[in-house]
């Protein structure tokens, strides 16, 4: 049995603002934006290279806007990610160097927190 995480719901207070942040400022692909019925709108976006998407909108979750904490996204280059975030006008933490990776954090307009991790180069590790 395989288990694949393919969709994470992000609680937001303003769907259009969230769509602009994730789609335009971060550059994540907007896959869907459907109003199913009054009070039920579904927006799905996918980070470049990811098999897992995020969804937000109206009537999708009972979680408070901004309550999502520390979803971790693997990236190739923490310095480049940090520079891209700053260039897009997104406040980002400085690169945090740890033995298990290099990390950059940021939040969306509601305060949902994201962590970007550059994995260590394990190819030179000895067993």
- Summarize pLDDT for 26-37 with one digit per residue, the tens: 999 999 999 999
> Has residue 116 got a pLDDT over 70?
yes
Same domain, 53 and 84: no
Same domain, 19 and 44: yes
Residues 78 and 117 grouped into a single domain: yes
At 35, list the tokens: 């109003």
Do residues 29 and 48 both lie within one domain?
Answer: yes
Q: 49 lies in which domain range?
A: 1-61
Q: The domain spanning residue 27 has which CATH number?
A: 3.10.180.10
The set of residues, in sequence order, having a beta carbon less than 8 Å from that of 48 and lying 6+ positions away, is 27, 28, 29
The pLDDT tens digits for 44-53 are: 999 999 999 9
Q: State how many domains the chain has.
A: 2
Mean pLDDT, rounded, of the chain: 95
Q: Are residues 96 and 51 in the same domain?
A: no
* pLDDT score at 125: 63
């Amino acid at each position: 049995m395989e288990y694949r995480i393919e969709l994470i719901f992000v609680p937001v207070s303003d769907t259009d603002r969230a769509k602009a942040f994730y789609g335009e400022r971060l550059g994540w692909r907007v896959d869907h934006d459907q109003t199913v019925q009054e009070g039920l709108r579904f927006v799905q976006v996918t980070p470049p290279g990811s098999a897992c998407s995020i969804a937000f909108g109206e009537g999708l979750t009972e979680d408070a806007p901004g309550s999502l904490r520390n979803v971790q996204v693997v990236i190739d280059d923490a310095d480049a990610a940090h520079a891209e975030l700053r260039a897009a006008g997104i406040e980002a933490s400085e690169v945090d160097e740890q033995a298990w990776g290099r990390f950059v954090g940021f939040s969306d307009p509601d305060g949902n927190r994201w962590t970007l991790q550059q994995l260590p180069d394990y190819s030179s590790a000895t067993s």
